[in-house]
A = this chain, B = another copy of it.
């Protein structure tokens, strides 16, 4: 790992630069698929399944039998782990179910806000070598707690036309209503527009490759909401001399094994830690099954030495990492000063993988610096808030004049009239 020693403030920006990530060049290709599915429905979905996933699917939806088969395939050990994770995720997200009290903003003027579930949501779970059942939990559990009536899940089938049993099992226990063997751009299109088989949804969630990301962006311009813009995953460890180099190395490598474009950064005040982590990373890397991926990702990762914790905090807020591990003596105090991050892991015994799977927080988080403006997925991602106001005859008398004057000054006389008529009666 490259060690950068005491960079000046004006070097931060370059140092923290993420790999460019521009989907715009894919928009034409992606638009073709989107439009095709929009106009032709299931037939187009199946055509692209054959073309891109190399598999012909007769019935797009997953049957009861397939769910039963999946349940039999998953080991008891994994089932138990999934159920424990589910319980923790449910506890944390259920606690977010707060409603505000009614507020009397002015005598006779009562205002309130009420969260209502988004009726229909769509979850996309990528295929590939590893079955992302943890992402199924992270998206469907809060959807269920929010009260979404229809929770649709799309995931690409393998060459045998099957979705991994652990994905199906997780979907079943977490309340997904309909599962479809559809991947890629055609899955996003099917959920955005609806087809004969797939219901149209109002919001689409979940990770995906560059094509899926481009498709989500394009449908979000007009047709449907999306969770957030996506980019490669990343972790920052912020550490002082109290950190354990073995743990830090393991945390950096957890990120590095995700993909060759993953980012792992250590920011530390301690020269000795920096040296030890370099050695530990090499040592642990050699043992990893996904060594090849992790090696490439570690090559462009960095250890940055800074003069004190204040500087470490400042540089962190500029970087706005998706995951931030704080391994310092006073980690609670440091955590308070972080303004921009997706999820924060406090102290030496809180690895990122805890949040990835089972602590209870959500692992769908803003990457690419989006943590400056976006939250990770949470209960409110599956709800919208309606505001209400109720004004009494006395109330409109009291604030009526204010409204009339403002409306008149904005040249909106019908707005004024709607108040005046009520005051006359």
- B-binding residues in A (CB < 8 A): 22-24, 77-78, 80-82, 84-85, 87-88, 91-92, 95-96, 98, 100-101, 103, 105-106, 109, 111, 113, 116-119, 129-134, 166, 202-203, 217, 221-222, 224-225, 229, 244, 246-247, 250-251, 253-254, 256-258, 284, 288-290, 294, 331-332, 335, 338-362, 366, 370-376, 378, 380, 384-393, 395-396, 399, 401-403, 405-407, 409-419, 421-422, 425
Bound CA span A242–B222, Å: 38
Bound CA span A421–B281, Å: 13
Which 7 residue pairs spanning A and B have beta carbons closest together? A105-B360, A351-B418, A225-B373, A353-B415, A346-B390, A250-B418, A88-B105
Known contacts A290-B411, A354-B399; 7 further A-B pairs (Cβ under 8 A): A85-B402, A88-B106, A106-B359, A116-B339, A132-B410, A351-B415, A356-B407
Bound CA span A359–B23, Å: 43
Contact B225 A221 (CB under 8 A): no
Contact A343 B131 (CB under 8 A): no
Q: Give, as a whole number of angstroms, the nearest-CB distance from A84 to chain B.
A: 5
Bound CA span A134–B395, Å: 20
With a cutoff of 8 Å between Cβ atoms, the chain B residues found around residue A335 in the complex are 388
Known: A254-B414, A353-B416, A360-B103. A347 touches B407 (CB 8 A): no
Contact B347 A399 (CB under 8 A): no
| Closest B residue, CB atoms, query A401 | B81
Bound CA span A406–B347, Å: 22
Bound CA span A346–B111, Å: 10
Contact B347 A390 (CB under 8 A): yes
Bound CA span A254–B118, Å: 29
Contact B396 A354 (CB under 8 A): yes
Known: A88-B105, A288-B414, A386-B343. A405 touches B351 (CB 8 A): no
With a cutoff of 8 Å between Cβ atoms, the chain B residues found around residue A360 in the complex are 103, 105-106, 109, 111, 389
| Closest B residue, CB atoms, query A96 | B100
Contact partner of A358 (CB less than 8 A), chosen from B246, B350, B399, is B399
Contact B415 A257 (CB under 8 A): yes
Bound CA span A345–B355, Å: 42
With a cutoff of 8 Å between Cβ atoms, the chain B residues found around residue A375 in the complex are 384-386
Q: Give, as a whole number of angstroms, the nearest-CB distance from A32 to chain B.
A: 15
Contact B418 A352 (CB under 8 A): yes
Contact B246 A421 (CB under 8 A): yes
Bound CA span A254–B420, Å: 12
With a cutoff of 8 Å between Cβ atoms, the chain B residues found around residue A344 in the complex are 386-389
Known: A354-B389, A389-B360. A78 touches B406 (CB 8 A): yes
Contact A289 B225 (CB under 8 A): no
With a cutoff of 8 Å between Cβ atoms, the chain B residues found around residue A410 in the complex are 130-134
Q: Give, as a whole number of angstroms, the nearest-CB distance from A341 to chain B.
A: 5
| Closest B residue, CB atoms, query A255 | B414
Contact A396 B349 (CB under 8 A): yes
Contact A372 B202 (CB under 8 A): yes
Q: Give, as a whole number of angstroms, the nearest-CB distance from A297 to chain B.
A: 11
Contact A119 B372 (CB under 8 A): yes
Contact A403 B353 (CB under 8 A): yes
Bound CA span A413–B286, Å: 12
Bound CA span A362–B111, Å: 10
CB pairs A–B below 8 angstroms (13 shown)? A23-B221, A78-B405, A98-B98, A129-B411, A131-B409, A247-B418, A284-B414, A284-B417, A288-B417, A289-B413, A332-B390, A349-B395, A371-B384
Bound CA span A386–B414, Å: 44
With a cutoff of 8 Å between Cβ atoms, the chain B residues found around residue A338 in the complex are 386
Contact partner of A388 (CB less than 8 A), chosen from B346, B366, B378, is B346
Contact A359 B85 (CB under 8 A): no
Bound CA span A346–B102, Å: 13
User: By CB atoms of chain B within 10 A, which of A84, A390, A396, A416 has the most?
Assistant: A390
Contact partner of A96 (CB less than 8 A), chosen from B96, B113, B349, is B113
